[in-house]
Amino acid sequence: MREATTVQQAVLDFAGYAIFSTKPDGTIETFNPAVERMLGYTVGEVINHSISSIIHNPEELDLKAKEFSEELGVNLEPRI
């Protein structure tokens, strides 16, 4: 069992792809070094925070809410 865990951790640590896990509510539990390189956050900055806080750009959400509001003729507030 210990050997399997060691191999699994090595795969996560050296994978060239971003790999992360979340709780059902979207709170980040784990992520690998590729996420750090791709997004520029350290493990300590994001563990136990919402995945949407690092994946979504607030300015982009504002812009999309405005575009959809105009298209649909209703006022949509940007939110995650």
- What average pLDDT does the segment 34-62 reach? 86
Residues β-bridged to residue 28:
22
Range of the domain at 12: 2-49
Element (H, E) at 35: helix 33-39
| 39 and 66 share one domain | no
Instruction: Tell me what pLDDT residue 2 has.
Output: 79
| 45 and 59 share one domain | no
d(CA 67, CA 32): 35
| 35 and 66 share one domain | no
Distances (CA, A) of 44 to 19, 28, 48: 16, 11, 9
| 6 and 43 share one domain | yes
Q: 19-46, pLDDT tens digit by residue? A: 989 999 989 998 899 988 888 888 888 8
| 43 and 60 share one domain | no
| 29 and 68 share one domain | no
| 17 and 44 share one domain | yes
Q: Is the pLDDT of residue 80 over 80?
A: no
Q: What pTM did the predictor assign? A: 0.61
Q: Give the pLDDT band (50/70/90) at residue 66.
A: very high
Instruction: Name the domain count of the chain.
Output: 2
